[in-house]
Structure 1
Amino acid sequence: MRVAVLGGGYAGLMITRKLEARLPPGDDLVLVDETGEHLIQHELHRTIRYPGFADDITVPLDDLVTRATVREATVTDLDPEAGTVALADGDEIDYDAGVVALGSQTADYDIPGVTAYATPLKRLEHAAELRRGFFDDVEPNGGTVAVVGAGLSGIQTAGEFAELAEREGVADDVEVVLVERAGTVAPSFPENFRTTARNALRDLGVRLETGTDVTAVTETDVVADDHAIPYDVLAWTGGIRGPDALDGERQGVRADLRLTDRTFVAGDAADVVDADGERVPASAQAAVRSSPAVARNVERVLDAARAGDSVGHLEKWAFETPGWLISVGDDAVAQLGPEVFRGTAANVIKTSVGLTYLAEHGSLRDAIEVVRDELGDDRVLPDLPDLRKRAP
């Protein structure tokens, strides 16, 4: 039997590692990824201010798996019913059970000018482009950085630019503007979280343009219905769409995350209504938490195929979250249960979560490097063991 996992992000990597432990030795497991590297996406915004983070938050997938074959290739098309995957190099992969975890792309909502003039934040090269724009077009003579979309990514991006301006000594000459269609930042989150995030942004001097419906983007302006916002650098974090291989559509699935008889979908490529009837937010946390259920359901599909039976009961997943964590420059906002924290307590929580993830899926050295950079600790690192390929 062959299992194909498409995408090496949070969902794809976690599902692959769990399948490595669950599948019988004779089964073939292939992990297809466009770059061949796992990106710690929730820390990507940090590389705008600290480009050296790029090395710390990317780990070769070959270092993270034990028996899966990593295939570096771009998925251009797939037939989830037939179990076939078309690759950009002309090859095709057939599978008995598959998982589509190709992530998402930034949505432009067909707003004129977005594709031509705005830079998304999905890849390392996007962060590098935004950083270059700051130093080439803003820092020398002052100017405006506009960030469109005040979800978690937009809040973190605006915070990084504000701190970068402060660090470079140009905060008085640089304005950071966060633009959001809804009437508040973090509109899909609880009120106390929204309020705390808004206060953290304002404390950094970020100007908030909420309730602003962007209708066009030009080379110099973000255009709304009743006014224009001039910019020198424009970051676009205003929503997501599905991957190109799925025609730009996020796939709607129920709580068992089953797309067809042999194919499951997970991570941002999935639009999930869980076992409690709730729509699951597109987030790294949701991608990671869905992975055990997906792996067990893949195993059940294969067991049924081996036995020549139809698949019976599949596990239904309900998303439960202990809270949410974001950085806002050097500040952080953490929600655990009903409580929301800022400052040192939130930074310790967020950094601890990052340390745990990197140590589990990268190396302890990489993890402590990131923590040291975030907390400003210049102590010399001891000789640390590498934890890559540790069993899940």
Structure 2
Amino acid sequence: MSSEALNRRDFLKLGALAGAAAAITALPVRAQAAPSAVTLDECLAMTPEAMADASGPVSASWESILQAAAAIRNPALRAQVREILNNPAPTVTKGIGASEKQAIHKELAAKGLIKDVSEADFLPPSADPANAPQPFRSAPGSGYSSHHAYPGGLCTHTGLNTRVSMALYDGYREVYDYMLDRDVVIAAQLLHDLHKPWVFQWNADGESRTERSLAGTGEHHPLGVAESIHRGVPAEVVVAQACAHNHPRTEQDEAQVVGWLTAASIIAGVDPVAYGLLAADGRTLPLPRRQEGFVTHLGDHDWVLTVPANQWVLPVLEKVAVRDYKISQADLKAKPFKQFRNYVYSQATIMSLYETYAAQGEPELVRTIHAIVTPA
């Protein structure tokens, strides 16, 4: 970090670090239904932003995210993270016209970093590189068939992951006296999915945009890394952010991370070695390898629980939609059910719904759904 940051061990001796870390987890985030039920017609008319803003869990998670950002000690980094969270705009696309896009796509293809994605489909649509297509708080946390696929899902996903990362930070400090860079741990986790609002834009039918692949992973990941580079985020944070999808434990694992950093650097138009993202030979991360990236990777595992929870709750939700809300079988693949699903998920969260289902059974899950959207 820059010279503005305090020495980590001296800061710990003052006792301030432990207090600030506790503040990040101080806000309660309790999954709960909306204060009052809405009708199906009202649900169908709601925007993703309105759904997210009506949600207690999403609002609490957003507040915890902002509080975590405020706990970053380095003022320059704190300002960068806040700016991105408040407007996750694809500023990296500024100056990328048709010819530049063609050249970037060609270079990525030559290096084997983009496959089966045409030049036309490369980069999500963006009307204005200075403004995000949607706020951070209304974006889903994944593609529509995966985890946190509801308005505000990115907030609950990021909020949980940041808490996990800080718990890991505290554990390594307390057990091993291993002083990870706390600012890097917080910033990398907060930024790891920064371009999901761009990639997973909501369509008119209530489903989010389908993600393309880039450098062997979902495009949101290298695009987010490219955005951090373009905005001048410190190299150590960018490297840790890039490790969210894998860790450099083996040569094969590290090669993936190197690929994401390389792709991101091509898009951002920088030399990854000169920026400090890769070692001098361009084949590994900077040496000796820092371990904040491992914490970012371990912290980004909320999906391990939420993917199966969605798979097990969704059939019950479909059954209830047809039986109690008179949504047709055909409309289970269309806007009526997608809007219904989006609102129920956003108000209660997938995890809370599954907890109800697993602990109290289907009748209680149905009652919870009825408390969120009034049956027909």
Verify same fold: TM over 0.5.
Answer: no
TM range (shorter): under 0.3
Q: TM-score, normalised by structure 2?
A: 0.28
